Structure 1
Amino acid sequence: MGAAVSRWSQNLVLILLGGATVWISAFTTSYLNYVKAGFQPFLVAAGAIVIVLGVAGLVRPAAHEHAPRVAWLMTLPVFAIVLIAPPALGSFAAERSQRPPEPPQNANYAPLSASGPTIMKIGEFMGRAFGDEPEQLNGKVVKLTGFVTKAKKKDQWHLTRMSIACCAADGYALHAAIVGAPAPKLDSWVEVTGTWVPPKWKRMPNGFVVPELAASEVRAIETPAEPYE
């Protein structure tokens, strides 16, 4: 009986895990909380293979075994993954992330709009602010999207976006320091429109430096389907 429980439970878990992987990656955007969008085909294929392996393990002859009732309890953790999916990385991970790599100094960025706000990623804002020609940001209105985290300096807060190379395990935080507007709720997603605040120092100091943005508008938004940069 013990062998039957083990065989049925193992294969049921395989089928449910494979099914959960296929469902999350093919029919929802939840997988974007864990990996880059380009990994979707591989997740779907991997889930399908796991389902096939589980079905093959159940149908192979084994003395006409019937599914033990206790084996179905093994599926509960899988249902929990589907019904209570962990959210994307937020302020907790941002506060504990490693220092991001230095922004690119000679990136080929598109020209900034002269008539309206330029929508850009926080990583691009950092790259422009600390690049070779930061003066291109002078007086230009930009629009950044991220979630709210705490800042060490008074009278400012951080607009943050996590960046990942392949999956959430390698994520690190990108920040823009927002001034001139009260801080929204921690971890809430907002869209901030404003202008770059040129730093007072002539030479970049040692350590992690965050570019500042003087906010003219802060608008609450829903969590985007693809939360990472």
Structure 2
Amino acid sequence: MNRQAQAVVMLLFGGAVVKASVTDMYLRYVKEGLRPFLIAAGVLLIAAAVMTLFYDLRKTADHDHDHGDGKPHREPRVGWFLILPVLGLLLVAPPALGSYAAGQAGTALSNQQQMSDYPPLPEGDPARITVLDYASRAVFDKGTSIGDRRVQLTGFIAEGADGHPILARIILSCCAADGRPIKVGMSGDAPSGLAADTWVEVVGKYTDRTATDPVNDESIPFIEVESWRQIDPPKQQYE
């Protein structure tokens, strides 16, 4: 692959990074706070590609190189196929991690620090908290910091080990490559008949019911659902 082909691939890749960064697309790959770094990286790639093309086009032998044998030499064209995945990133945006990823990995709750003193729940009825916050309080605090208050959780539907739907959310340390699921079982007036990856808001109370995740044998807490409603996927789908 010659320099021009390398520069074109670099230019397209940089453009794809910038395009994803200036829209909400980047939230499917990394945490929200990394946007400035992605934009900077994309701009640097574009600048490097433009400079490479500029200097290479000034040379007299742009495509054919004389090796002293009187015969023109062409670089292998197969290198241009490297453009295909970059074009795919530009034209087709893969979805955020969802129910399939949740089913393949064990709950990440075992990797969270076990706190002994949780802060009070937010004000309001119901109290809006994350799936991770509820699961941590339910497992490690035995629901003490929740009490009899109603809470509202937002997540997507995934299939549990027993075939019943569970509420899940993917948490990130940095990017989608290290995404792990948080899983919460649902009892009471739980959603039914919904396809996997359907986003819902559920309102309910703490219950001491738990299940065991068959992937890593960690505890999956439950919530006693009082009501629920289907919603559109949020802009930030990771916690």
Tell me what 1:191 maps to. Answer: 201
Kept in 1: contact 2:210–2:220 (CA 8 A): no
* Residue segments in structure 1 that go unaligned for 5+ positions in a row: none
Q: In structure 2, what is the Cα distance between the partners aligned to 1:21 and 1:73?
A: 19
Tell me what 1:226 maps to. Answer: 236
**Which structure shows the bigger proportion of residues in strand conformation?**
2
How far the C-alpha of 1:211 sits from its partner, in A, is: 1.0
Tell me what 1:24 maps to. Answer: 20
How far the C-alpha of 1:85 sits from its partner, in A, is: 0.8
The reply to whether residue 36 of structure 1 matches residue 46 of structure 2 is: no
Cα-to-partner distance string for 1:21-57 (whole Å, 9 max, x where unaligned): 11111x2011111111121111111111111111111
**Deviating more after overlay: 39-48 vs 125-134:** 125-134
Q: In structure 2, what is the Cα distance between the partners aligned to 1:169 and 1:13?
A: 23
How far the C-alpha of 1:7 sits from its partner, in A, is: 2.7
Counterparts in 2 of 1:1-229, with a 5 A limit?
6-25=2-21, 27-60=22-55, 61-63=58-60, 65=62, 75-102=83-110, 103-106=112-115, 109-112=118-121, 116-132=125-141, 134-153=143-162, 156-180=164-188, 181-183=190-192, 184-199=194-209, 207-229=217-239
Residue 170 of structure 1 aligns to which amino acid in structure 2?
D
Residue 79 of structure 1 aligns to which amino acid in structure 2?
L
Instruction: Compute the TM-score of the two structures, normalised by the length of structure 1.
Output: 0.83
Q: Which has the larger radius of gyration?
A: 2
State the SS of the aligned residue for 1:211: strand
Cα-to-partner distance string for 1:168-195 (whole Å, 9 max, x where unaligned): 1111110110122233211111111111
Kept in 1: contact 2:157–2:167 (CA 8 A): yes
Residue 85 of structure 1 aligns to which amino acid in structure 2?
A
Instruction: Compute the TM-score of the two structures, normalised by the length of structure 2.
Output: 0.80
Cα-to-partner distance string for 1:67-90 (whole Å, 9 max, x where unaligned): xxx898764543321221111111
Kept in 2: contact 1:138–1:198 (CA 8 A): no
Kept in 2: contact 1:9–1:74 (CA 8 A): no
State the SS of the aligned residue for 1:223: coil
Q: CA RMSD in A?
A: 2.7
* Residue segments in structure 2 that go unaligned for 5+ positions in a row: 64-76
How far the C-alpha of 1:104 sits from its partner, in A, is: 3.7
State the SS of the aligned residue for 1:62: coil
Identical aligned residues as a percent: 36
Q: In structure 2, what is the Cα distance between the partners aligned to 1:47 and 1:57?
A: 15
Runs of 4 or more, structure 1, over 4 Å off, are 70-76
